[in-house]
Structure 1
Amino acid sequence: MVTHLTKEPQYQDHITLSEKQGLTKLGFRANATWHRDPRRLVFVVSRYKFVSKMLSGKQKVLEVGCGDAFATRIVLQEVNSLCAIDFDPLFVAHVKEQMESAWTFDSRVHDMLSGPVVTEGGFDAAYSLDVLEHIQPDNERQFISNIVHSLTEQGILIVGMPSLESQAYASEGSKQGHVNCKTGKDLKALMLDYFHNVFMFSMNDEVVHTGFFPMSHYLFALGVGKK
């Protein structure tokens, strides 16, 4: 039952939707970002927008380290199916609780250091945003290797992370847990151990470009052609 009428009729469906199913809540991390640094939320969803376009048309996609999965549906818009994993049961339970019927995807607890994500046929793409910098350097190869072993032979991987140079300007909250930030050169070198081709992109705020790595706040590495 509609209880409010908008002045302009084209906006009435917005009111109808909110009265029918309520307003969508922000996830744990997105909520904290919106309260503390609203602009950062724009940067985060822009990273998912980039991934969504790079993986457009893929059939089975794996997200490694989904957190609250608030922006995961941006990728879901462009792919056939998606599995989002995180090693923290609290976050995965929250993802399932918040999931809406129009935007459903598989979400499960899995620590990528424990082994690959096994699924019939494998994933034809995977991405991991803001995770590698939290992995101890001694464990990074196990982490990447297990993702790669979750992929089909033609599978591709996108890794996104803040650059080492950006940490001089990062907030204390942002730097918590960052034990493995990399330069663009080092991130590419790591990915080249697993893929024949690695394409690098830089990001400043919400803008993706191919500029000078040391002036980039954020890095993307896209690996193609498994070794």
Structure 2
Amino acid sequence: MSTVEPQYNHCIEVERQFGRAKFGLMSNQVWVDDPKRLLFVLSRYKFVSKMLSGVNSALEIGCADAFGTRLVRQVVPNVLATDIDPIFIQDCIDRIQPNDKWNVSYAVHDIVEKPVYQSDKFDAAFSLDVFEHIDPSNERRYIENLIKSIKPDGMVIIGCPSLESQKYASPGSLEGHVNCKNGEDLKKLYQEYFNSVLLFSMNDEVVHTGFLKMANYLFVVCCGVKNV
């Protein structure tokens, strides 16, 4: 079998060597229900990958099916993706392809309960679409255990929907969103723990520094852990 234009034979070679990649459990649902949303999710991971370019190790909290995690793995040699739900982690493991050059490690973990301990702490941690699911009574434990998982000079990136966006959220999203904040309050919270907190707006797939109250998604990029 050969393609009409020979340069596309590489597509066949890749399939023979690695097999066909599969959607994850959550990305499959998104692709079926609202395909454009997959673009938004991947754009969030791309932003994280740009911020973390050059670091050696990164921890992801709340990876779900980790479909976008390989964008970070492209620039970070060592990535551990964790989630509280064993079903999602098993889905990630089941989809590992042979000879995958973007290999990621996976683990079940509840960051509210304890930090992620390993022999050498992570250079960075990131958590997308998780903070809004953390009960306000647990948000500080979430942040503090994230900090305990990284090096003192490490970076933390948090992405979450804005409070203003919630009137447009789907019923399914609203059911799990118990802790959305506006941009000012989100930044103020993380400034209690970090010397530098950069706040970004996001609309669809575009990250910008525009008017916060019109942002449907927020990022905080946090550096320099305070002694609190």
- Common fold by TM > 0.5: yes
- 1:79 Cα offset (Å): 0.8
Q: Which of 3, 7, 10 is 2:4 aligned to? A: 7
- 1:16 Cα offset (Å): 2.5
- 1:17 Cα offset (Å): 2.1
What does residue range 151-170 of structure 1 map to in structure 2 within 5 Å? 151-170=150-169
What does residue range 208-223 of structure 1 map to in structure 2 within 5 Å? 208-223=207-222
Q: Which of 68, 72, 77 is 2:74 aligned to? A: 77
Q: Percent identity?
A: 52
* Residue 47 (str. 1) matches residue 49 (str. 2): no
Normalised by the size of structure 1, how large is the TM-score?
0.96
- 1:20 Cα offset (Å): 4.0
* Residue 132 (str. 1) matches residue 94 (str. 2): no
1:104 aligned counterpart, secondary structure: coil
- Alignment deviations for residues 173-220 of structure 1 (CA, whole Å, 9 cap, x no partner): 222200001100111011011101100000000000001111001000
1:112 maps to a residue whose letter is I
Please tell me whether the aligned partners of residues 58 and 79 of structure 1 are also in contact (alpha carbons under 8 angstroms). Answer: yes
- 1:23 Cα offset (Å): 1.5
**Please, which runs of 5 or more residues in structure 2 have no aligned partner?**
none
Normalised by the size of structure 2, how large is the TM-score?
0.96
Structure 1 stretches of at least 4 aligned residues deviating more than 3 Å after TM superposition: none
Distance in 2, Cα, partners of 1:155 & 1:191: 14
Between stretches 100-109 and 83-92, larger displacement belongs to 100-109
- 1:102 Cα offset (Å): 2.1
1:67 aligned counterpart, secondary structure: coil
Distance in 2, Cα, partners of 1:122 & 1:14: 38
Cross-structure match for 1:63: 60
Cross-structure match for 1:35: 32
Distance in 1, Cα, partners of 2:18 & 2:148: 40
**Please, which runs of 5 or more residues in structure 1 have no aligned partner?**
none
2:219 aligned counterpart, secondary structure: strand
2:92 aligned counterpart, secondary structure: helix
Distance in 1, Cα, partners of 2:19 & 2:2: 16
- 1:47 Cα offset (Å): 0.2
Distance in 1, Cα, partners of 2:172 & 2:203: 19
2:173 maps to a residue whose letter is S
Cross-structure match for 2:86: 89
Distance in 2, Cα, partners of 1:21 & 1:61: 25
Distance in 2, Cα, partners of 1:22 & 1:121: 34
Distance in 2, Cα, partners of 1:103 & 1:153: 27
Cross-structure match for 2:177: 178
Cross-structure match for 2:206: 207
1:113 aligned counterpart, secondary structure: coil
Cross-structure match for 1:18: 15
The number of aligned residues is 224
CA RMSD of aligned residues (A): 1.0
Distance in 2, Cα, partners of 1:123 & 1:22: 32
Distance in 2, Cα, partners of 1:176 & 1:78: 34
2:59 maps to a residue whose letter is L
